[in-house]
């Protein structure tokens, strides 16, 4: 209530000040400014007439006189345009005089131009005659009207000033009343707010103490007959209720703790038994069982005449046997490429025409005799499909190019996918300098680690451009199985 009354009083105070400015100070300023403009016009016009009076019509400097007279006439016109002619601002008498001045000034301007034209044409005597017969009387009328307008404006301003000052006195009295009301209401409001703040601060301190488990603190003062008093009573009631609940919970927890200790011993034995059973069950689900399951699914697809599904299961079976088999450190390159083609066929079957895989082999090298680390190419092809082509909207391709040169084997995996941004590419290159098997880019890191263990001559490089694609090149020693015992047949 106090806040509402305070705001209403404040709004009324501001409204009175605004209305006082519009109704009193603005009219006074406009009328005072109009008097100044009339006085400036009259003084400047007298200066213009003095130039005419001092000019010698027989032998005067025509060019200088005409230039000066025209400049003065333009300045007189500028002053005249600033004189108020609106009835709400000036009285009726001022309006009539201002209209007469503007009409006379137009005649004065026409005669002035005629005199200047005659002087330029050399008709000095005719110009002098026009000055004495028409210009001087017109200028006299204009000066007289202006003086009358100045006197009338000063008189009207005095009457208006008296009325406006009386009105201003009433406004000032109302402002003082509202100002006193604002101060009184503000004092009461601040006092009430301070009392509320003290009560809230006390409840805040008690809340902190209750949070620390101190329920025996004194109650909050609830003697106020307002909302704060009701809040304090509710706070005290809540504190006592919480104290009772905490006591009950402590007793319950103590009983449950004793019961939990007894049950925990029995549960520990039961968990140990269940863990042993689970371990036995896991050992029974071996790779042989999963491989046989894939074969069953493949034969079912064949019976159901689903060649695509059969092909995918055959490729998956081949990859799974290769991954779970007892592979040596070095395997024939042909066997590694078979796994890559099997993986590529899965991707092509999944994405259709969107993805294409191409393999280029050297014509002068038997890939069945070349040995490479197992799973050295497949992670690179997987990265190309997954990170290069999958985000791309259009179709794309992955190319694996095998080359040999001067005792070195070059394996180049390239794609025309989305590429890698410069910041990420730099981070990947730094990662490959010290490869680890954690975080992102596990496939690349694994390949880089195995190449580092294979030979100091081995290396991996990666180049990429955004929206153009990525190329990964492996360089490793060319190892050929010289002994037929070391050659292994290709697996499907």
Percent of the chain with pLDDT over 90: 24
Which of 175-189, 210-224, 407-421 is most confident? Answer: 407-421
Give a yes or no: residue 274 inside a domain: no
Residues 424 and 473 in one domain: yes
Rounded to the nearest 5 percent, the helix, strand and coil shares of the chain are 70, 10, 20
> How many whole angstroms separate alpha carbon 454 and alpha carbon 461?
16
Which residue range is the domain that position 112 belongs to? 2-187
pLDDT at residue number 459: 93
Instruction: Examine the pLDDT at 243 and tell me if it is beyond 90.
Output: no
Give a yes or no: residue 279 inside a domain: no
250-290: pLDDT as tens digits:
777 777 777 766 665 545 444 444 444 434 334 444 555 55
Taking residue 378's Cβ as centre, other Cβ atoms within 10 Å add up to 22
Spatial CB neighbours of 213, under 8 Å, sequence gap ≥ 6 = 246
pLDDT at residue number 437: 53
User: Which DSSP helix (H) or strand (E) runs through 475?
Assistant: strand 469-477
Residues 342 and 443 in one domain: yes
Give a yes or no: residue 290 inside a domain: yes
User: Which DSSP helix (H) or strand (E) runs through 52?
Assistant: helix 26-54
DSSP 131: I
Residues 440 and 295 in one domain: no
Instruction: Examine the pLDDT at 334 and tell me if it is beyond 80.
Output: yes
Question: Which structure tokens are listed for 129?
Answer: 């005659």
Residues 321 and 367 in one domain: no
Domain final position from 326, 356, 387: 326
Instruction: Examine the pLDDT at 1 and tell me if it is beyond 60.
Output: yes
390-405: pLDDT as tens digits:
899 899 999 999 999 9
Give the position of tokens 């005249």.
Answer: 80
14-52: pLDDT as tens digits:
776 766 666 666 777 877 888 888 899 899 989 999 988
pLDDT at residue number 275: 43
**Weakest-pLDDT range from 37-41, 97-101, 172-176, 401-405:** 172-176
> How many whole angstroms separate alpha carbon 326 and alpha carbon 166?
113
Give a yes or no: residue 193 inside a domain: no
Strands (DSSP E) contained in 285-388 are: 330-332, 355-360, 370-373
Three-state secondary-structure class, residue 213? coil
Give a yes or no: residue 245 inside a domain: no
- Convert 442-471 to b/e letters by CB count within 10 Å (16 or more is b): ebbbbbbbbbeebeeebebebebeeeebbb
pLDDT at residue number 33: 85
- Domain with residue 355: its CATH number is 3.30.565.10
Q: How many helices (H) and strands (E) does the chain have?
A: 13, 8
Residues 34 and 180 in one domain: yes
pLDDT at residue number 287: 56
pLDDT at residue number 246: 75
Taking residue 105's Cβ as centre, other Cβ atoms within 10 Å add up to 22
Residues 337 and 354 in one domain: yes
pLDDT at residue number 320: 67
Q: Which residue from 382, 296, 304, 370 is spatially nearest to 339, judged by alpha carbons?
A: 382
Residues 311 and 425 in one domain: no
Residues 310 and 407 in one domain: no
Number of domains in the chain: 3
Which of 19-28, 149-158, 404-413 is most confident? Answer: 404-413
Domain final position from 187, 206, 225: 187
Three-state secondary-structure class, residue 360? strand
pLDDT at residue number 242: 76
In this structure, are residues 41 and 81 in contact, taking their beta carbons and an 8 Å threshold?
Answer: no
Q: What are the backbone angles phi and psi of residue 489, rounded to the nearest 5°?
A: -70, 155
- Bridge partners, 371 (sequence order): 332, 479
Q: Mean of the per-residue pLDDT values for the chain?
A: 79
Residues 299 and 357 in one domain: no
Q: What does the CA dihedral 345, 302, 295, 281 come to, rounded to 10 degrees?
A: 110
Residues 170 and 291 in one domain: no
Domain final position from 326, 359, 378: 326
Q: Which residue from 78, 74, 82 is spatially nearest to 35, judged by alpha carbons?
A: 82
Using 50, 70 and 90 to split pLDDT, how confident is the model at 305?
low
417-443: pLDDT as tens digits:
999 999 999 999 988 887 765 555 567
Give a yes or no: residue 226 inside a domain: no
Mean pLDDT computed over 118-125 = 88
Using 50, 70 and 90 to split pLDDT, how confident is the model at 166?
confident
β-strand 370-373 against 408-415: which pairing, if any? Answer: unpaired
Bigger pLDDT: 167 vs 336:
336
- Domain with residue 125: its CATH number is 1.20.120
pLDDT at residue number 400: 96
Residues 346 and 475 in one domain: yes
> How many whole angstroms separate alpha carbon 63 and alpha carbon 249?
113
Instruction: Examine the pLDDT at 218 and tell me if it is beyond 80.
Output: no
In this structure, are residues 140 and 70 in contact, taking their beta carbons and an 8 Å threshold?
Answer: no
Instruction: Examine the pLDDT at 247 and tell me if it is beyond 80.
Output: no
Give a yes or no: residue 18 inside a domain: yes
Using 50, 70 and 90 to split pLDDT, how confident is the model at 124?
confident
Give a yes or no: residue 251 inside a domain: no
Using 50, 70 and 90 to split pLDDT, how confident is the model at 291?
low
Mean pLDDT computed over 215-241 = 72
Residues 40 and 6 in one domain: yes
pLDDT at residue number 412: 97
**Weakest-pLDDT range from 245-249, 272-276, 299-303:** 272-276
446-465: pLDDT as tens digits:
888 888 888 889 999 999 99
**Weakest-pLDDT range from 30-44, 134-148, 160-174, 386-400:** 160-174
**Weakest-pLDDT range from 88-92, 110-114, 336-340, 385-389:** 88-92
In this structure, are residues 378 and 340 in contact, taking their beta carbons and an 8 Å threshold?
Answer: yes
């Amino acid at each position: 209530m106090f806040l509402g009354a305070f705001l209403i009083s404040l709004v009324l105070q501001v409204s009175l000040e605004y209305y006082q400015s519009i109704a009193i100070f603005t009219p006074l300023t406009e009328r005072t400014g109009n008097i100044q403009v009339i006085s400036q016009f009259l003084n400047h016009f007298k200066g213009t007439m003095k130039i005419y009076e001092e000019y010698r019509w027989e032998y005067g400097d025509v060019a200088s006189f005409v230039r000066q007279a025209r400049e003065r006439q333009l300045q007189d016109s500028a002053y005249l345009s600033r004189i108020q002619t609106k009835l709400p601002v000036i009285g009726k008498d001022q309006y009539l005089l201002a209209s007469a001045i503007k009409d006379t000034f137009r005649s004065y301007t026409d005669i002035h131009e005629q005199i200047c034209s005659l002087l330029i044409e050399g008709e000095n005597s005719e110009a002098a005659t026009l000055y004495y017969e028409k210009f001087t009387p017109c200028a006299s009328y204009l000066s007289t009207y202006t003086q009358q307008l100045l006197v009338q404006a000063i008189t009207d301003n005095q009457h208006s000033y008296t009325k406006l000052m009386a009105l201003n006195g009433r406004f000032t009295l109302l402002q003082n009343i509202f100002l006193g009301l604002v101060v009184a209401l503000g004092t009461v409001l601040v006092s009430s707010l301070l009392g509320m703040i003290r009560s809230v601060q006390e409840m805040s301190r008690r809340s902190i103490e209750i949070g620390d488990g101190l329920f025996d603190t004194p109650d909050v003062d609830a003697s106020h007959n307002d909302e704060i008093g009701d809040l304090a009573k509710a706070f005290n009631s809540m504190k006592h209720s919480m104290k009772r609940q905490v006591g009950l919970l402590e007793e319950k927890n103590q009983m449950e703790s004793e019961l939990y200790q007894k049950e925990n011993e029995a549960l520990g034995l039961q968990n140990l038994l269940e863990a042993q059973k689970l371990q036995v069950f896991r050992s029974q689900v071996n790779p042989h069982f999963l491989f046989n399951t894939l074969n069953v699914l493949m034969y079912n697809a064949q019976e159901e005449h689903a060649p695509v599904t059969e092909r995918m299961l055959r490729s998956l079976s081949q990859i799974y046997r290769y991954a779970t088999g007892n592979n040596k450190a070095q395997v024939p390159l042909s066997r590694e490429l078979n796994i890559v083609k099997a993986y590529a066929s899965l991707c092509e079957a999944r994405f259709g025409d969107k993805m294409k895989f191409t393999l280029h082999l050297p014509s002068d090298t038997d890939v069945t005799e070349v040995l490479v680390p197992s799973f050295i190419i497949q992670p690179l092809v997987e990265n190309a499909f997954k990170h290069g082509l999958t985000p791309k909207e259009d179709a794309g391709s992955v190319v694996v190019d095998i080359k040999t040169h001067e005792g070195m084997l070059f394996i180049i995996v390239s794609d025309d996918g989305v590429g890698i941004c410069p910041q990420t590419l730099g981070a990947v290159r730094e990662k490959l300098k010290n490869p680890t098997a954690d975080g992102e880019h596990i496939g690349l890191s694994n390949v880089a680690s195995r190449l580092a263990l294979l030979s100091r001559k081995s290396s991996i490089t990666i180049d990429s451009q955004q929206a153009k694609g990525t190329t990964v090149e492996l360089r490793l020693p060319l190892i050929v199985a010289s002994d037929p015992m070391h050659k292994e047949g290709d697996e499907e």
